[in-house]
């Protein structure tokens, strides 16, 4: 399905936030899918779901993923180790992440950290 062509957006102000440890700046380049393309993708995955169980995972990813990641660099606020987010991933924001060094679960957020409580 070719409807997944995202619109380009300016670079985002992103932070990796962890309660009790504060927030650290992150480099994030994402593009947001146009609403009609996102809806077409969700409908397509729902049709696949009716045909089999594989479609259920596709529906979940299609509904949750409003942004496509083009580049990401960030560190864990607790241990300062690099976090990983693959290029091409479909994410929603705020996005939960896992640190495999200290086993904390920080969140990737856009805008000022205070906006998310």
CB-count exposure of residue 55 (10 Å: 0-12, 13-18, 19+): middle
As a whole number of Å, the CA-based R_g of the chain is 16
Asked if residue 109 lies in contact with residue 115, where contact means CB atoms within 8 angstroms, the answer is yes
User: Predicted confidence band at 74 (pLDDT cuts at 50, 70, 90)?
Assistant: very high
In the chain, where are the structural domains located? 2-110
Q: Does the reported pTM lie above 0.75?
A: no
pLDDT tens per residue across span 84-113: 999 988 888 889 999 999 999 999 998 776
Q: pLDDT by residue (tens digit) across 16-68?
A: 999 999 899 999 998 887 888 878 877 777 777 666 665 566 666 566 678 88
| Contact between residue 13 and residue 26 where contact means Cβ atoms under 8 Å apart | no
């Amino acid at each position: 399905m070719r409807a997944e062509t995202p619109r380009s957006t300016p670079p985002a102000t992103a932070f990796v936030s962890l309660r009790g440890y504060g927030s650290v700046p992150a480099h994030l380049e994402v593009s947001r899918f146009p609403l009609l393309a996102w809806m077409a993708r969700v409908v397509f995955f729902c049709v696949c779901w009716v045909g089999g169980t594989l479609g259920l995972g596709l529906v979940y990813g299609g509904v949750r993923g409003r942004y496509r990641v083009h580049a990401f660099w960030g560190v864990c606020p607790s241990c300062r180790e690099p976090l990983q987010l693959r290029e091409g991933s479909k994410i929603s924001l705020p996005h939960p992440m896992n640190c495999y060094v200290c086993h904390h679960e920080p969140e990737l957020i856009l805008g000022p950290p205070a906006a998310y409580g």
